Amino acid sequence: MRDRIGRGTGDTNGVRSVVELPVMKPITIKDVAERAGVSPKTVSRVINGEAHVRPEIRESVARVVAEMNYRPNAFARGLSSSRAFLVGLFFDDPASGYAATIQRGAIEQARALGQHIVIEAITFKRSDWRERLVDSLHALRLGGAILTSPICDRADLLDIFEQHDVPVVRIAPGAELDRTPQVRMDDRDAARVVTEHLLALGHRDIAFVRGNPTHSATERRWQGFADAMSAAGLTPPPERIVQGDFRFRSGFDVAEALFDRGSRPSAVFASNDEMALGVMVAAMSRQIAVPRAVSIVGFDDAEIARMAWPQLTTIRQPNHAMGAQAVDLVIQQQAAGGAGNPCRILPYELVIRGSSAPYAAT
């Protein structure tokens, strides 16, 4: 019975489970100031590129800074100026490949801007996710937050960030569209383009595997598919539209409805690569040749798209760029004070590989 305080779960309340970690002894701004023969404030001015410093002094201070290899302490900075140097990257599932590429883009851009990325997982399954999030916001004083799909569509989540005055940039959001700046690609248009690719190959009987309904991209991709089909004067029957959840397994499972009942479609468009692979594996296990007997296309250009055989025709998402742009936006936001909600739309790319081929009558 150790004494804890407050909040039933109280794990990050700074209470007791926080272990102490000693740190190193650094060079302070005072040391630099002394050696340069000026006041600390002047050094601060030079470091932050502020005006009102004579060029000679600026230069000499800069030299001393370099010589002493001085690095300002970000904590002290954050404390006194309420400026931040951390950007939070929030994921539902940080282990997915999708997330990883975004992450890399974000890290690199953050670095370029002198910021750092803190990764946080939000798990709605835990009933205390709000407390945990608020904990992070308070403790880390985030300068901004980047949210990815699907969590970025929850109004209650956005509320929390808003209440705490943390600027948010969302990547590919699907709801509450005018609430924050965002970075996205045109899913609908891309889906249309892939579908047109299949149509151009001569396919008419095309099945569509929908994604997880909680991701907003699901609807947009479906729309793009529908656009292309109806533009071609086609109306796919209901049994050609099946429901997946973006995971490999679901692609594998829906294949039963697609391949084991009556006539087979000549092509399948799965809303993401994982599901496309699931469909492909299911086809092969039924001795249905890909792409000879059935063409399969995906969406995302995940790493695995190139590791399948045949390799997957798909849409390349600009994940890396989206991560970088998101950081960029969030910092701008921080500086500008939130004028408007810019939306950057990044270009996608149709990647044609071996899994799609001209329609051949059976």
Partner DNA sequence: TCGTATGTTGACATCGATGTCGGCTTCGAT
Partner DNA sequence: ATCGAAGCCGACATCGATGTCAACATACGA
- The listed partner (DNA, its own copies, none) that binds 278, CB under 5 to 8 Å by sort, is its own copies
27 or 288: CB nearest DNA = 27
| 292 touches DNA by CB under 7 A | no
CA 171 to chain centre: 5
- The listed partner (its own copies, DNA, none) that binds 262, CB under 5 to 8 Å by sort, is none
The Cβ of residue 247 has, within 10 Å, a number of other Cβ atoms equal to 16
**x-marked contacts with its own copies along 340-359 as a string, rule CB under 8 A:** --------------------
The answer to whether the bond into 291 is cis (omega within 30° of 0) is: yes
The site for DNA, by CB under 7 A, has a size of: 34
| 53 touches DNA by CB under 7 A | yes
Measured CA to CA, the distance from residue 144 to residue 175 in angstroms comes to 20
| 21 touches its own copies by CB under 8 A | yes
Measured CA to CA, the distance from residue 36 to residue 199 in angstroms comes to 71
| 13 touches its own copies by CB under 8 A | yes
Residues between 254 and 313 that touch its own copies (CB under 8 A): 274, 277-278, 280-281, 284-285, 303-304, 306-309
**x-marked contacts with its own copies along 108-137 as a string, rule CB under 8 A:** x--xxxxxxxxxxx----------x-xxxx
Measured CA to CA, the distance from residue 321 to residue 184 in angstroms comes to 10
- Chain position carrying tokens 């690095």: 71
| 134 touches DNA by CB under 7 A | no
Of the candidates 223, 239, 243, the residue with the CA atom closest to the CA atom of residue 231: 223
Q: CA 196, 350, 278: angle at the middle one, nearest 5? A: 85
Per the structure block, which two tokens stand in for 141? Answer: 């004083």
Residues between 59 and 118 that touch DNA (CB under 7 A): 71-73, 76-77, 79-83
Of the candidates 95, 84, 109, 93, the residue with the CA atom closest to the CA atom of residue 323: 109
- The listed partner (its own copies, DNA, none) that binds 111, CB under 5 to 8 Å by sort, is its own copies
Which residue type occupies 52?
Answer: H
SS3 label, residue 91: strand
Q: CA 292, 190, 304: angle at the middle one, nearest 5? A: 55
Nearest approach, Cβ of residue 330 and DNA (Å)? 19
Residues between 41 and 70 that touch its own copies (CB under 8 A): 46-51, 55, 58, 61-63, 65-66, 69
Beta bridge partners of 146: 89, 169
Of the candidates 185, 173, 158, 169, the residue with the CA atom closest to the CA atom of residue 333: 169
Residues between 16 and 35 that touch DNA (CB under 7 A): 25-26, 28-30
| 164 touches its own copies by CB under 8 A | yes
Nearest approach, Cβ of residue 59 and DNA (Å)? 11
SS3 label, residue 223: helix
Near its own copies by CB under 8 A: residue from 33, 36, 38, 84? 84
The residues binding DNA (CB under 7 A) are 7, 14, 25-26, 28-30, 37-45, 47-48, 51-54, 57-58, 71-73, 76-77, 79-83
